[in-house]
Amino acid sequence: MEKVAHKRRIVLVPLPLQGHVTPMMHLGKALTLKGFSIIVALGQLDQVSSWQHFPGFRFITIPESLPLSEVDALGPVEFLIKLNKTSEASFKNCISQLLVQQGNDIACIIYDDLMYFCEAAAKEFKLPSIIFSTTSATHKACLCILSKLNPKKFLIDMEDPELQNKLVENLHPLGYKDLPIAGFEPLERFVELCKEVVKRRTASAVIINTVTSLESLSLTRLQQEFGIPVYTLGPLHITAASTTYSLLEEDRSCIEWLNKQKPRSVIYISLGSIFDMGTKEVLEMAWGFCNSNQLFLWVIRDGSKSLPEEVAKMVSERGYIVKWAPQIEVLGHPAVGCFWSHCGWNSILESTEEGVPMICRPFQGEQKLNAMYVESVWRIGIQVGGEVERGDVERAVKRLMIDEEGADMRERALDFKEKLKVSVRSGGSSYNALNELVNHLKQSERGAKH
């Protein structure tokens, strides 16, 4: 373990959702291995009680934070805008108390880019701050583009190809119409949020959970946009050689079930921690999977639409259902042949890192972007779009599990797996970026002392 001269604390502020907490905790783990100790500030502490034993991690609460239960009533955009407004003063108090308790020993505040209220505290107490983005570099680049748009002219601009090309320059195959706005209406408020999220403020660097070899063009563009170092540390669960940080209890019985199956014979189906499907889509999927004659492991979370009785029996013959799986272990299991995914960024990184090709069924803007990259840029999967019917599901499964094109995608996915492994090994891009980040933190520390 590398030692820093004075062990100093880093305050991490994740958005308290699984897809955001997980990479932030991996980052924390990576930094503890470099000699820092970690304070995690969360709005809802009860969720993470099982993590309290993590060595080097201390958890504190931001008292005035907005509960996640408000998302349903407000919608994601209004929720985030309000969360940032309500938390700012409360977080300043937290930091002020921490500074007293820790004898001024805070090296940096690293905050999720959606928790931009944190910067006000960093500024007030003259602490270094770093922005952490849990989505792809391409998504972040899109938010930069969206932040500069006039929402009233968005649809009119759609008609002007020259303008469009200029805006999305260097983000091929991304077009203007692909900008990730679906699910975040009304556009006026979303653009306002984007403006806040991409504002650099006094932050001295940006951390992204991605890999240079996956998104080099988008990263170049981001570097230009921000004008401060952009550290690409992904996939963070590998860079940090970390354990899982699951908010839900994992059902490990599926690993025993997988142990009994032949290599690459199972489709793993998961739609992440938030999204849910309508009953009709669940039914069509169930029929499609059964008709494909392949085996499947399906995550159906508590509170999601359950399988209608008429198909539950049929499904139990070919499939295994859990409420929450140890996803990384599942994707690394030899029995898994493909991943039916909603294309959250963590799921994409985890699948790519295990060399598993994907069937993409995205719901909202960012996921659609990720799906597009899987299908058209990395060519390690296919998309199922529109209103899904059992025939589409069956065809998609057969394309990936049986047909030659599926084998080609698997080959390419395995190439990426190798590239990602190289990136976290000594001398690799993520390995180097982590060391550069540590140097950056030490320098900021010195800067703050003088």
Contacting residues for 398 by C-beta, under 8 A, at least 6 apart = 292, 294
CA angle 330, 333, 335 (to 5 degrees): 110
CB-CB neighbours of 283 under 10 Å: 17
The smaller minimum CB distance to ligand UDP, of residues 136 and 212, is found at 136
The smaller minimum CB distance to ligand UDP, of residues 19 and 151, is found at 19
Q: Sign of dihedral through CA atoms 323, 324, 327, 329? A: negative
Query: Rounded to a whole number, what is the largest CA-CA distance in the chain?
Result: 70
As a whole number of angstroms, the distance between CA 281 and CA 227 comes to 45
Tell me the sheet residues that pair with 106.
9
Name the minimum Å distance from CB 371 to ligand UDP.
12
The smaller minimum CB distance to ligand UDP, of residues 18 and 242, is found at 18
The smaller minimum CB distance to ligand UDP, of residues 167 and 360, is found at 360
Name the minimum Å distance from CB 368 to ligand UDP.
13
The smaller minimum CB distance to ligand UDP, of residues 98 and 360, is found at 360
Phi, psi of 39 (to 5 degrees): -115, 125
Name the minimum Å distance from CB 343 to ligand UDP.
8
Q: Sign of dihedral through CA atoms 161, 163, 165, 171? A: negative
Contacting residues for 309 by C-beta, under 8 A, at least 6 apart = none
Name the minimum Å distance from CB 438 to ligand UDP.
24
Name the minimum Å distance from CB 273 to ligand UDP.
3
Name the minimum Å distance from CB 362 to ligand UDP.
10
The smaller minimum CB distance to ligand UDP, of residues 237 and 440, is found at 237
Binding residues for ligand UDP (CB under 6 A): 18-19, 22, 246, 270, 272-275, 299, 324-325, 327-328, 344-347, 350
Element (H, E) at 254: helix 253-259
The smaller minimum CB distance to ligand UDP, of residues 22 and 210, is found at 22
Name the minimum Å distance from CB 299 to ligand UDP.
4
As a whole number of angstroms, the distance between CA 157 and CA 336 comes to 44
Name the minimum Å distance from CB 148 to ligand UDP.
26
The smaller minimum CB distance to ligand UDP, of residues 328 and 424, is found at 328
The smaller minimum CB distance to ligand UDP, of residues 345 and 373, is found at 345
Phi, psi of 143 (to 5 degrees): -65, -35
Give the tokens for residue 242.
């970390």
Residues listed for the chain: 450
Going by C-alpha positions, the residue among 413, 402, 424, 261 that lies closest to residue 333 is 261
Inter-residue contact 213 to 128 (CB < 8 Å): no
Name the minimum Å distance from CB 26 to ligand UDP.
10
As a whole number of angstroms, the distance between CA 57 and CA 27 comes to 12
Tell me the sheet residues that pair with 130.
110, 205
Task: Return the residue matching tokens 């014979």.
Answer: 265
